[in-house]
Amino acid sequence: GETRAMVAWARDEILKLLHPFMPFITEELWEVTAKRDGLLALAPWPLKPAGPTPEQLAMLAAAAGPTDPLISPAFVMPFFDHADFS
């Protein structure tokens, strides 16, 4: 069911991330863990999920206010745009 699909997805993503460091082992695991037509080396690289937009962060800051001890420390440092390597 859903649990098996999630475990299979996580396994595949981990194999993709480990492939540059241990190509022979991950390629073998890729082949034997599911019926596939292609090589792991040719599989698409995992994509970084989209984070909250600046508007959503501003709404969170406005809703929490400067007095919320859990949220306010996160807004002390300015937000920087990080390079997306995906």
- Could you read off the pLDDT tens digit of each residue along the chain, which spans 86 residues? 899 999 999 999 999 999 999 999 999 999 999 888 899 988 888 887 787 787 887 777 777 666 666 655 555 555 555 555 44
Q: Which two tokens stand for residue 32?
A: 């034997």
CA distance 38 to 35: 9
pTM attached to this predicted model: 0.56
Q: Which two tokens stand for residue 40?
A: 């792991």
Per-residue pLDDT at 50: 80
Per-residue pLDDT at 75: 57
CA distance 64 to 67: 7
Per-residue pLDDT at 44: 86
